[in-house]
Structure 1
Amino acid sequence: MRTHADCRMLLVMSGANAASSSPGPGGFEETLKDFWASRPRRPIHGRKVAGVAAGIGNRYGIDPVLVRVAFVTATIFGGAGVSLYLLSWLLFPGEYDEVSPIEALAGHHRSSMSKGFTIALIVLFFPLTSWAFAGGWFSGGGVIGLAMLVTALYLLHRSRGQFNRPVAPVVEKATGAAFSMSSSAPSAERSSSWDPLGAAPLGWDLPDPAPAPTPPPPRKPAPSRRRNSAVGLATFAVALVVAGVGAALGSSGVTWFSVQHIIGLALGVLGVGMVTGAFLNGGRGLIGWAIPLSIAGLVTTAVPISDYTGGYGNITAVPHTAAEVQRVYQHTAGDIDLDLTRLDATAPVTTDVRNGAGNTTVVVPANADVRYSCQVQAGNVDCLGNQSDGVGRAAVTGTDLGPDGVGGPQITLNIRQAAGSVEVRRD
């Protein structure tokens, strides 16, 4: 028959064996269960908004800046980043919380987030998610962005889930050990073991104390975050080659290689390099290139530059006769300088100028009668003193006869540009 001491020894030995076994990668289902059991905790210090990126970085021993860039990029291209961030906010518990906000809302223990704020986040989550997946957020690639983020998080847990496993706060429960003392009176013939307090000797046989909780196993230190410059240099070189080849193919007439596609390809290369650098502890310098490229991608996606073709570079034209004036001056990106001051006054002139991104300048004779329509999707317009600036503004139209009134060359200008500036002035 085992004594209480033997039972306590068995409990301690079994707890030590359980603590020493680290979770293996297992299959897909086991990985998901282990992720949920050891999911990141949102820290109090080092957070920017809710601590989701900082929690993921601390959990898997990577730079939180890389996680933030991934969320921002997925938000710009598709809108899934903000939806997944809100979902992580609801499912990841705080650093000192017992459960996550969504679990606390269901009545399972305590969270520092109020129930009202949790409900507000849930209400905000659904319209943002539906907008992203319905294609209303710029490029509409919400499904692709969500798949990439979830896959990256899954691979992180598979490869680095053994590091920095969080220890949840102990939930205290009210417990007590009840015992009773016999009040039977002693016999007339008192023995030497008689209890002077009037209790039976067996009444003081208290239960053995519960075994002390086994301390959690020490955290395995994450590998040091040393910089691996080779990853960054190789990724940057490949991104340059991809962008250069795409620009060359676009200039040669391959319409698929638009500005948006070239920026997207370069960002894809940088993203692969940053994910690789997260595993090899390097490539942080790529963030400085990914952020401006993301902004450029946002602008080119919101502004329909793909409607403009004709290659890249600058166009300078100085026609001397009406026959030399082209019907359309068109460019994808670059500056267009059109000088019409050398024209003779024998025939009216009509021309269209279309530019994707850059600066367009048209100079007309001082005595010309000019009818114009100038429009820029994002930028500023100054057509013979008629000005406009901003995003999505209507075309600036009008007729300007010059200081001499009616007479002189008759010129009709139709200028349409995606981004940049348009100027029409007299010589």
Structure 2
Amino acid sequence: MWTTRPVRLPRFQSPNTWFFGVCEGIAVCYQVSPVLVRLVVGLSVTLGGLGLWFYLVALLVMPRYGVPLSPVEVLLKNERDPRYTPDREVGTRTLIVGIILLVLGGTGRGGVTLGGVVGGVVVTAVAWWLLHQRLPVPPAGLTTAVAPEQDATYRGVDLGTLTPAEGFTPPRATPPSWDPLGTAPFAWDLPDPPEPTPPTRPRRSAWRRLDCVVLGVVLGVVLALVLAFVALVAVLGVGGDHVKSEDTDTTSTRRFTGATVTVESLEQDRTVKALFADVDLDLRDLDFPTDREDARVIVDSRLSSVDVVVPTESDGASYLLRVDCAEVAASDVDCEQLDGTVIPSGRDKDDSSDPEHTLTVEVQSRMSEVRMRQHQTD
């Protein structure tokens, strides 16, 4: 887990990063929505600043894309290679900010408690372990622990578009001489083993004194993130029926899961609800009812990622497609992506006759990601 931990994707290395690339790096490594990662971290900031502590620790322990050492490792090893200058600066400034926050925030009442630190460490460790079990091997080329022949894409983002760290070479694509069978790709970038030397007694470095401080900060941040996630799930789940999925003639509900919702008929308007879920809403087989002039599909998304797929052609009547972003709060939504006409199969696209029907996709999104795209019907 430590060898394949997420890497940071700073702004100067990735066009999709907002700040220092922590959330984007976690999302790419474990192939989850970056919006959900940012929302969880952002919401946890309100819980006593726990999200801020998580972010500071992540800055210390997550290396940049293409760099073998993280900022805290650069400091502890007193690495003087000029290529690590940005990492040394990030590590030093992050430690200074963390110490200032510890002094100003204090411990105990109103501050960081021992119970909170331990609980956060446990919950964060479990969450990290579950993510690792879901995807133990990150996309190829992201870290040196991944075989280069594996898929290197993530929800449309090609890792080949990332800019390598200046002064560092990409991960080795062929096994080194000491691993002819290619059984240890995670260590291909390590230097060849040196000649044996007589054992010497290690000298204590002044940087070793930072171990306790760094460990304490890491534990506090991990605990904060876990507690924030547990609290958020508890708040959202209170009063609900706690089901993962439910379907009726008018409503489809998906919670805490990933699934595909297919809509084939709209005799009545349909509402698709998503809570902490990854949902594909498929409208490609929709047969628009001829007795209705207007029909509506409502996408009610909370803390979720929804992918709406509509056809370019219809097996039935033609209809005008509209996207109505009725309620959008703290979300990433394609509000003007799909407005147009879905024509019957075989009709000339230059036919300018106005459609007699209208399909409206109404988006009610709160802290979610809603994507719209058209796809040719099979």
TM-score under structure 1 length normalisation: 0.34
Q: Which has a greater percent of strand?
A: 2
Of structures 1 and 2, the one scoring higher in RCO (CA 8 A, sep 6+) is: 2
TM-score, normalised to structure 2's length? 0.37
Higher Rg: 1
**Higher fraction of helix:** 1
